[in-house]
Amino acid sequence: MAENKNESWKFHLEIRDRPYDLVICMGLSLTLVALIAFAPDNLARQIIGLIFVLFLPGYAATAALFPENDQIDGIERAALSFGLSIAIVPLIGLGLNFTPWGIRLDPILASVSAFIIAASLTAWYRRMTLPADERFAIVINAEMNFKGMPIVDKALTIGIVVMLVASVVVLAWAIATPRVGERFTELAILGPGGMATDYPGDLSVGEDARVLLSVKSFEHEPMDYTLVIVLTDVLDYNFTIAEYTVDWNATHALSPHVGIATNFTLDHLDYFNKTLDFSASGTGTWKMQFLLYQEGQPLTQESYREVHLWLTVT
């Protein structure tokens, strides 16, 4: 209830007869699930997500553990809500780590939501079995009287309210427009077993070998790439390109200083994972270079990323 008369303002809110706070907990959890499913880039998702992780699990657990109004005071209840949330969410993640689902967005969202709903229903049941005057109640009383207040005090009061509102707006803007992190691209090669071991090293002419290639973009925008694979005897860029379309299902006979290349585009956090089967057609010690160029970068200059293997071909 709000009142504005003779420069005075009063507000009173009491939640006791019905556990609307628990309904809000469950409603926010389901709302977040819907936002992630249908509007993942929405500002509301980021705001509700913070509340979902940092407050709701602990609040629901505290409500289930302490359904009576005089068991703990409001400050203790708020502190427990934050503290238990910080403890509960990592424990749920630890448990998921030992399941087939792992620590991913969907399992974590489902598990934390299920915990919040289960704890809220338990708190609802325990609270409603108590007499109305013993149930936990949210009571808010606010009163402000400008009558007789000096102009300076009025101005300070209004200024504090404006600054609080502005702080909330700035916080929402900061959440909605996070800073772009470092921009880079990962380039890596692995052995045939998918590990950083057992790389081919000693080969005969024409002997088949295999490496696994992985490129991942952290550029925060779509990026075009050119990948060149070539045998050289020194780290240089004096090579020609035999083909610009790599058939990843075929075995490529690599000749020294004659490379193969392919073009592809990656969005932010996208992967380009390929298996390369190859053989070497010339004897000697060769540096098998994997050169990654970004959009518009000439192939005659130093590459954006480079990894290599040393091959001894007999």
For the stretch 133-182, pLDDT in tens is 888 877 766 666 666 667 777 778 778 878 888 887 777 676 666 666 67
What's residue 1's pLDDT? 44
What pTM, to 2 d.p., does this model score?
Answer: 0.52
**Number of domains present in the structure of the chain:** 2
CA distance from start to end of the chain: 90
Backbone angles phi, psi at 230, to 5 degrees: -150, 150
CB 279 within 8 A of CB 254: yes
Q: Examine the fold and report which residue of 94, 123, 147 is the final residue of a domain before the chain moves on.
A: 147
Cβ neighbours for 3, distance < 8 A, ≥ 6 positions apart: 9, 10
- Whether residue 94 lies inside any domain: the answer is yes
- The residue type at 40: P
CB 295 within 8 A of CB 235: no
- Whether residue 173 lies inside any domain: the answer is no
Backbone angles phi, psi at 281, to 5 degrees: -100, 0
- 232 plus 292 within the same structural domain: yes
Q: SS3 for 148?
A: coil
- 139 plus 10 within the same structural domain: yes
- 142 plus 213 within the same structural domain: no
User: Distance (Å, rounded) from C-alpha 205 to C-alpha 313?
Assistant: 6
Half-sphere exposure of 190 (CA within 13 A, CB side): 13
Helix (H) or strand (E) holding 91: helix 74-97
Q: Tokens 């087939």 correspond to what residue? A: 100
What's residue 294's pLDDT? 86
- 26 plus 103 within the same structural domain: yes
Residues of the domain holding 28: 2-147
- Whether residue 161 lies inside any domain: the answer is no
What's residue 239's pLDDT? 77
Query: Is 230 exposed, middle or buried, given 0-12, 13-18 or 19+ CB atoms closer than 10 A?
Result: buried
Q: Examine the fold and report which residue of 147, 166, 200 is the final residue of a domain before the chain moves on.
A: 147
The enclosing domain of 278 has a CATH number of 2.60.40.10
User: Distance (Å, rounded) from C-alpha 244 to C-alpha 228?
Assistant: 9
Half-sphere exposure of 85 (CA within 13 A, CB side): 21
- Whether residue 162 lies inside any domain: the answer is no
- 117 plus 39 within the same structural domain: yes
- Whether residue 164 lies inside any domain: the answer is no
- 104 plus 238 within the same structural domain: no
In percent, the amount of the chain with pLDDT more than 90 equals 18
User: Distance (Å, rounded) from C-alpha 68 to C-alpha 123?
Assistant: 10
CB 289 within 8 A of CB 232: yes
Sheet-wide strand order for 8-15: 2-5, 8-15, 138-145
- 137 plus 240 within the same structural domain: no
- 32 plus 82 within the same structural domain: yes
Torsion, CA 165, CA 58, CA 34, CA 106, rounded to 10: 130
Q: Examine the fold and report which residue of 97, 132, 147 is the final residue of a domain before the chain moves on.
A: 147
Segments in the chain below pLDDT 70: 1-16, 140-149, 172, 174-181, 234-237, 243
User: Distance (Å, rounded) from C-alpha 72 to C-alpha 62?
Assistant: 10
User: Distance (Å, rounded) from C-alpha 299 to C-alpha 239?
Assistant: 9
- 136 plus 214 within the same structural domain: no
- Whether residue 304 lies inside any domain: the answer is yes
- 123 plus 235 within the same structural domain: no
- 106 plus 208 within the same structural domain: no
- Whether residue 174 lies inside any domain: the answer is no
- 122 plus 188 within the same structural domain: no
- Whether residue 25 lies inside any domain: the answer is yes
